[in-house]
């Protein structure tokens, strides 16, 4: 069993439960209660699952949407800070097993900058997870340039987690099985990341670092397409879009445990840009761990994806 660091592992703090429960309305009640039990546990249940999967360290983050769904900026800022303090206490109890991504309310850009710095410098978090758009505002919005400036200065990884789109895509109407995790979230989150690329955000902040789950939300499969269409439509960037994806974006395997997409991600982005994640408790950590242990890779490459890349990127 190869040693692993897992990057997309979720929890809930007391003040954010009411944002989470409405996202579970289409899930059977007993399943929701099992998820809630695991999201609020930092002891036996979580650690036993990690041990069975070979996960040495889990980087914990709020289960979405969190404060990204809050319209009152002051309340969002307060609740995000409370969630970060809550997580810091849990990490302090088991610093050998847990690390953290900050929960950030970007509704107030100045407060977001201050909270990111506090979490990185004082709480020793490893970056931040943003649960998609914030009431329709995406992370390429110029109002958030101060946030990116500070994230770049702190070398903070900004992990973009899926969320529901502002308006459901009409093409999915009448086919509810394609909504959310099946297809809708991947399209939404991949599009969010592409906004950062095509807006020129990475020209302005060339050392900014972004994380995507689910084997890159389809981006590794379409690098040449992005380049050819950018050229056709006269997109003005310093580099081809694919180069920003290779330089500024890292991906995890969360929820996609199959050899073919892993080979694509490794070939498209490079072996140092792909990392492990279990997406606990929404995916089976043991299944994720078994996949990482047995997928056809050279042992050095397996160790890099499972542990070494995250350890280097996040300073673990």
Segment 120-129, tens digit of pLDDT = 999 999 999 9
Query: Taking the CB of residue 87, how many other CB atoms lie within 10 A of it?
Result: 25
The CA-CA-CA angle for residues 10, 12, 17, to 5°, reads 135
CATH number at residue 228: 3.20.20.140
pTM for the structure as a whole: 0.97
pLDDT of residue 3: 98
What whole-number percentage of the chain has pLDDT above 90?
97
CA 315 to chain centre: 17
Q: Which of 140, 279, 293, 300 is catalytic?
A: 279
Distance CA 27, CA 281 (A): 14
Rounded average pLDDT over 64-73: 96
Q: Which pair of tokens denotes residue 167?
A: 């308006």
pLDDT score of 26: 85
Query: What is the residue-averaged pLDDT of the chain?
Result: 97
Which region among 22-31, 155-164, 209-218 has the lowest average model confidence (pLDDT)?
Answer: 22-31
pLDDT score recorded for residue 201: 98
Give the per-residue pLDDT at 25.
87
Count of the separate structural domains present in the chain: 1
pLDDT of 314: 98
Q: Which residues is 57 bridged to in the sheet?
A: 5
Token pair listed for 168: 């459901």
Tokens for 273, please give them: 């840009």
The number of beta carbons lying within 10 Å of the beta carbon of residue 184 is 20
Evaluate if residue 178 carries a pLDDT over 90: yes
- Stretch 163-175: mean pLDDT, rounded? 94
Does residue 160 have a pLDDT over 90? yes
Is the pLDDT at 2 greater than 90? The verdict is yes
CA distance 71 to 66: 11
pLDDT digits (tens, 9 = 90+) for 194-244: 999 999 999 999 999 999 999 999 999 999 999 999 999 999 999 999 999
Active site residue 279: yes
Contacts of 13 (CB under 8 A, 6+ apart): 62, 82, 83, 86, 87
**What's the rounded Cα separation, in Å, for the pair 189 and 160?**
7
Query: Phi and psi of 274, rounded to 5°?
Result: -120, 130
Q: Which domain holds residue 60?
A: 4-314
Compute the distance between CA of residue 314 and CA of residue 316 in angstroms, rounded to an integer: 6
Q: Transcribe the chain into DSSP letters.
A: ---EEEEEEEE--GGGHHHHGGGGTTS-HHHHHHHHHHHT--SHHHHHHHHHHTEEEEEEEEPSSGGGG---HHHHHHHHHHHHHHHHHHHHH-TTTEEE-EE--TTSHHHHHHHHHHHHHTS---EEEE-S-BTTB-TT-GGGHHHHHHHHHHT-EEEEPP---SS--GGGTT-GGGTGGGTHHHHHHHHHHHHHHHTTHHHHSTT-EEEE-GGGTTGGGGHHHHHHHHHHTT---SS-HHHHHHHHEEEE-TT---HHHHHHHHHHH-TTSEE----TTTS-HHHHHHHHHHSS--HHHHHIIIIIHHHHHHT-
């Amino acid at each position: 069993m190869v040693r692993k660091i897992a990057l997309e592992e979720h929890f809930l703090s007391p003040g954010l439960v009411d944002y989470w429960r409405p996202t579970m309305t289409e899930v059977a009640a007993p399943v929701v209660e099992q998820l809630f039990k695991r999201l609020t546990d930092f002891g036996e249940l979580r650690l036993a699952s990690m041990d069975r999967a070979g996960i040495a360290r889990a980087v914990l983050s709020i289960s979405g949407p969190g404060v990204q769904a809050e319209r009152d900026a002051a309340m969002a800022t307060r609740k995000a800070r409370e969630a970060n303090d809550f997580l810091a206490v849990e990490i302090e109890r088991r610093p050998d097993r847990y690390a953290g991504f900050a929960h950030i309310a970007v509704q107030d850009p100045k407060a977001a900058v201050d909270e990111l710095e506090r979490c990185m410098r004082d709480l020793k978090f490893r970056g931040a997870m943003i649960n998609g758009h914030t009431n329709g505002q995406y992370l390429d919005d110029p109002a958030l340039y101060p946030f990116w400036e500070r994230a770049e200065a702190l070398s903070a990884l900004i992990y973009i987690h899926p969320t529901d789109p502002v308006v459901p895509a009409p093409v999915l109407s009448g086919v509810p099985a394609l909504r959310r995790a099946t297809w809708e979230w991947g399209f939404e989150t991949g599009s969010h990341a592409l906004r950062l690329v095509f807006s020129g955000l990475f020209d302005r902040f060339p050392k900014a670092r972004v994380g995507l789950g689910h084997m890159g939300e389809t981006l590794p499969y379409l690098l040449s397409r992005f380049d050819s269409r950018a050229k056709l439509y006269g997109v003005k960037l310093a580099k081809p879009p694919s180069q920003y994806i290779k330089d500024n974006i890292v991906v995890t395997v969360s929820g996609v445990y199959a050899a073919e997409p892993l080979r694509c991600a490794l070939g498209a982005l490079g072996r140092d840009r792909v990392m492990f994640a279990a997406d606990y408790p929404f995916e089976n950590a043991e299944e994720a761990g078994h996949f990482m242990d047995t997928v056809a890779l050279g042992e050095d490459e397996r160790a890099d994806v499972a542990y070494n890349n995250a350890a280097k990127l996040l300073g673990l």
